């Protein structure tokens, strides 16, 4: 029964899109590997890599297959909670899930017989792109692997679906939600933050961090935070991460908040280490520790996860901001 409802939903949404937008087919989408031409409006939509399926779902289309979640999946069913909720809203069952533990599941994708493959946020290689293109037209990233911000993910994938206008409406709704929540936490505005990659409590000799090119850092900026000058200067152009020897940690004296993955044991190690403990951020305990859970997962923002965890994430950042004052 759910499958029937889902099919009706897809037909209804596509019909509405046809009447409500001026976007006609064929559609051409430019990306890092050239141009993809979609001759007719796609009905069977497959997605690969992280979160691309959230764009068609948000726009009312149930994909015929998408990647199994490999982080933050509390119940182990391969589907994150905000995706489960959206599938329930659309009256749809979970479609086939592609296991990408060893890379793109080309056979699994082909078995779904897609009309289009969405991969705007991904790490596709040119070889991956060529192989997928033999299955169906592919929407790839525009600038570089894993660097597509959530707005661009929506724009690229929605364009491939012939729903560019609906994609812009979705972006506006999410931006309004962000504005509504952050307006209640003015202490965040203007604070500097560094998103540190997974630290090893046994070896704190190198501090690795995400650069302004990474979507996690971009999301912090969406929420009113900014990257300190020290992080910007330590970032290699075009890279989404950087690193610094802990011996030079005083460089980060302009830092107010640290966001990272880990628990209390990690923070205890950071505070006990003679180098990392010199950071005023550590002394102030202005540190946000994220786990392998929905909030930690959604720190890398996606269209459906942002509304789901926004209030909780901003509250954590605001608590750290108050400690930084």
- Asked if residue 302 has pLDDT above 90, the reply is yes
Contacts of 179 (CB under 8 A, 6+ apart): none
Contacts of 36 (CB under 8 A, 6+ apart): 28, 29, 133, 137, 138, 139, 140, 160
Retrieve residue 253's tokens: 């004296």
For the chain, give the number of residues. 325
Q: Give pLDDT tens digits for 139-178.
A: 999 998 998 999 999 999 999 999 999 999 999 999 999 9
How far is residue 142's CA from residue 152's CA, in Å, rounded to a whole number? 9
Retrieve residue 6's tokens: 């889902």
Helix 305-324 × helix 164-182 angle, to 10°? 30
With beta carbons less than 8 A apart as the criterion, state whether 141 and 148 touch: yes
Cis peptide before 52 (omega within 30 of 0): no
- Asked if residue 19 has pLDDT above 80, the reply is no
What is the distance, to the nearest Å, from the Cα of residue 150 to the centroid of all Cα atoms in its chain? 6
Mean pLDDT, range 169-193, rounded to an integer: 97
- Asked if residue 187 has pLDDT above 90, the reply is yes
How far is residue 244's CA from residue 207's CA, in Å, rounded to a whole number? 5
The confidence score (pLDDT) of residue 126 equals 97
Residue 21 pLDDT class (50, 70, 90 cuts)? very low
Q: Give pLDDT tens digits for 63-114.
A: 999 999 988 887 889 999 999 999 999 999 999 999 999 999 999 999 999 9
DSSP for 11-54, written as a single string:
HHHHHHHHHH----SSEEEEETTEEEEE-S--SSEEE-SSSTTH
322, HSE (Cβ side, Cα atoms, 13 Å): 7
Pairing mode, strands 241-245 and 206-210: antiparallel
The confidence score (pLDDT) of residue 5 equals 36
What is the distance, to the nearest Å, from the Cα of residue 113 to the centroid of all Cα atoms in its chain? 26
Q: What is the CA radius of gyration of the chain?
A: 21
When mean pLDDT is compared across 9-13, 99-103, 306-310, the lowest value belongs to 9-13
Name which of 62, 103, 99, 53 is nearest 80 in CA terms.
53
273: left (phi over 0), alpha (psi -120 to 50) or beta: beta
DSSP for 264-300, written as a single string:
HHHHHHHHHSTTGGGSHHHHTT-EEEE-SSHHHHHTS
For the CA atoms of 314, 316, 318, 320, the dihedral, rounded to the nearest 10 degrees, stands at: -150
The confidence score (pLDDT) of residue 44 equals 98
C-alpha distances (whole Å) from 125 to each of 33, 44, 140, 144 are 9, 24, 10, 10
How far is residue 126's CA from residue 103's CA, in Å, rounded to a whole number? 13
Q: How many CB atoms lie within 10 A of CB 238?
A: 10
Pairing mode, strands 66-67 and 97-98: parallel
Exposed/middle/buried for residue 196 (C-beta within 10 Å: 0-12, 13-18, 19+): middle
- Asked if residue 129 has pLDDT above 50, the reply is yes
- Is the torsion defined by CA of 224, 225, 227, 230 positive or negative? positive
Q: Average per-residue pLDDT in the chain?
A: 91
Mean pLDDT, range 214-237, rounded to an integer: 91
């Amino acid at each position: 029964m759910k499958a029937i409802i889902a099919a009706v939903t897809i037909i209804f949404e596509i019909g509405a899109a046809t009447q409500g937008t001026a976007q006609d087919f064929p559609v051409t989408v430019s990306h890092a590997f050239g141009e993809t031409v979609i001759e007719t409006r796609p009905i069977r939509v497959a997605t690969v890599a992280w979160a691309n399926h959230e764009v068609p779902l948000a726009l009312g289309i149930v994909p015929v297959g998408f990647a199994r979640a490999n982080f933050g999946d509390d119940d182990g069913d391969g589907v994150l909670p905000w995706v489960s909720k959206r599938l329930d809203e659309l009256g749809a069952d979970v479609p086939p899930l592609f296991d990408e533990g060893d890379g793109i599941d080309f056979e699994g994708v082909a078995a779904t017989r897609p009309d289009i493959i969405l991969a705007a946020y991904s790490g596709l290689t040119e070889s991956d792109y060529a192989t997928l293109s033999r299955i169906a037209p592919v929407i790839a990233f525009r600038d570089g692997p894993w660097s597509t911000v959530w707005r661009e993910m929506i724009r690229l994938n929605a364009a491939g679906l012939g729903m560019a206008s609906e994609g812009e409406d979705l972006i506006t709704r999410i931006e309004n939600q962000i504005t509504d929540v952050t307006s209640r936490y003015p202490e965040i505005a203007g604070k500097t933050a560094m998103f540190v990659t997974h630290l090893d409590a046994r070896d704190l000799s190198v501090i690795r961090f995400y650069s302004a090119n990474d979507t996690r850092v971009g999301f912090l900026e969406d929420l009113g935070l900014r990257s300190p000058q020290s992080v910007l200067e330590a970032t290699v152009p075009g890279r989404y991460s950087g690193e610094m020897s802990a011996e030079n940690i005083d460089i980060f004296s302009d830092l107010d908040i640290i966001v990272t993955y880990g628990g209390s044991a990690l923070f205890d190690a950071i505070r006990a280490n003679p180098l990392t403990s010199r950071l005023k951020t550590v002394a102030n305990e202005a540190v946000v520790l994220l786990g392998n859970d929905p909030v930690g997962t959604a720190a890398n923002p996606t269209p459906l996860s942002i509304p789901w965890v926004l209030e909780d994430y901003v509250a954590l950042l605001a608590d750290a901001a108050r400690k930084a004052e």
